[in-house]
């Protein structure tokens, strides 16, 4: 089972994703954080929990991309998955350019996850 975090300033959307991930049984969410952590806090979280995947809400694309860059700098092997209420082409392209190849939108369902 993969260990992961959900980073989402939108608490309800993060909770929805966590619930959906719980139903498939392949990802154990260790923490759900309702803000984009700064580099110091991120380093502590990674050191303490060694996640393999991070689900990052794209509600604030610039902050989400900066966060993803910090994750990559601190722990390059962590898979990053973007998610938001919708997937606009501009945001998706920016995420792909940053190396984030997966993007989820609700409803979060088994096949998609």
Tens-digit pLDDT profile for residues 62-76:
999 999 999 999 999
The pLDDT of residue 46 is 95
Q: Which one, of 8, 51, 32, 26, lies nearest residue 112 by Cα? A: 26
What's the pLDDT band for 2 if we cut at 50, 70, 90?
A: very high
Average pLDDT, the chain: 93
Residue 110 has pLDDT above 90, yes or no: no
Residue 9 has pLDDT above 80, yes or no: yes
Return the residue matching tokens 């759900």.
32
As a three-state string, the secondary structure of 15-82 is HHHHHHHHHHCCEEEEEEECCCCCHHHHHHHHHHHCCCEEEEECCCHHHHHHHHHHHHHHCCCCEEEE
pLDDT digits (tens, 9 = 90+) for 50-99: 999 999 999 999 999 999 999 999 999 999 999 999 988 998 999 999 88
The pLDDT of residue 44 is 95
Residue 45 has pLDDT above 90, yes or no: yes
Residue 112 has pLDDT above 90, yes or no: no
């Amino acid at each position: 089972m993969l260990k992961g975090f959900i980073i989402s300033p939108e608490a309800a959307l993060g909770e929805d994703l966590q619930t959906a991930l719980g139903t498939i049984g392949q990802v154990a969410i260790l923490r759900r954080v309702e803000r984009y952590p700064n580099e110091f806090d991120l380093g502590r979280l990674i050191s303490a929990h060694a996640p393999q995947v991070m689900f990052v809400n794209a509600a604030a694309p610039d902050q989400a991309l900066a966060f993803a860059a910090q994750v990559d700098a601190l722990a390059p092997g962590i898979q990053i998955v973007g998610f938001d209420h919708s997937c606009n082409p501009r945001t998706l392209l920016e995420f792909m350019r940053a190396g984030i190849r997966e993007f989820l939108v609700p409803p979060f369902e088994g096949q998609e996850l």
